A and B are shown apart, each in its own frame.
Chain A
Amino acid sequence: RKEVEQDPGPFNVPEGATVAFNCTYSNSASQSFFWYRQDCRKEPKLLMSVYSSGNEDGRFTAQLNRASQYISLLIRDSKLSDSATYLCVVDGGSQGNLIFGKGTKLSVKP
């Protein structure tokens, strides 16, 4: 069974903090990796794709370790607006279906 496991959370952090989320996936054939964010009762929104070399988008840095089947997301200088559930997502096969982790809830406090 193809699974994606994430930190259970919730993470409660003050504004300005740095927070890291981790994720492992079971399907060694997965080729595409993503972080999505989901606000309460809303659709998942793509935060960033994750590349083998690691990639950064402003305050967000994603890392991928294929050997360990491990993905991470680092958020620096967290803002109140970063409060959401962060979903680790990998592709499940050639037709592009996505496998989601259950998500880690982040709450940024003033």
Chain B
Amino acid sequence: EPEVTQTPSHQVTQMGQEVILRCVPISNHLYFYWYRQILGQKVEFLVSFYNNEISEKSEIFDDQFSVERPDGSNFTLKIRSTKLEDSAMYFCASIEVGGAYEQYFGPGTRLTVT
């Protein structure tokens, strides 16, 4: 069964550093999403991406964040200058076009900012 993959599984970085989190969505899916979950809190929507541009973003997704689909398979989330409060699990998800929004999540990247 096809699945969303994410790398790395765990990233430790120092405050102020840039990080890039990578996702490979399911191959025939065309809508992509990033979510985050701070430890002990709920999963929160960050951004959706379709046809090589951002479709929607939340108030969390400020100028420090950017997304890109650099090639036909990868979907990346960049945090330009990490803050302590960026420490969280970051999940990538994808759906087929026209799907009933049944999103399939990758295993996540645990980001720890020290």
Contact = CB atoms under 8 A, between A and B. Distances in A.
Interface residues of A, number: 22
Contacts of B91: 43-44
Q: Which of A42, A44, A45, A93 has the most CB of B within 10 A?
A: A44
B107 A46 contact: no
B106 A43 contact: yes
Interface stretch (A14-22, A57-65, A76-84, A96-104): A96-104
Nearest to A102: B42
Interface string B33-57: 1010000011111001010000110
Contact of A43 (B58, B100, B101, B107): B107
Contact of A46 (B33, B58, B103): B103
Contacts of B107: 42-43
Nearest to A103: B42
A43 B102 contact: no
A43 B108 contact: yes
B65 interface: no
B42 A49 contact: no
A41 B38 CA distance: 11
Contacts of A42: 107-108
A100 B104 contact: no
A97 B102 contact: no
Interface of B: 31, 33, 35, 41-45, 48, 50, 55-56, 58, 89, 91, 93, 95, 100-108, 110
Interface of A: 32, 34, 41-46, 49, 87, 91-93, 95-103
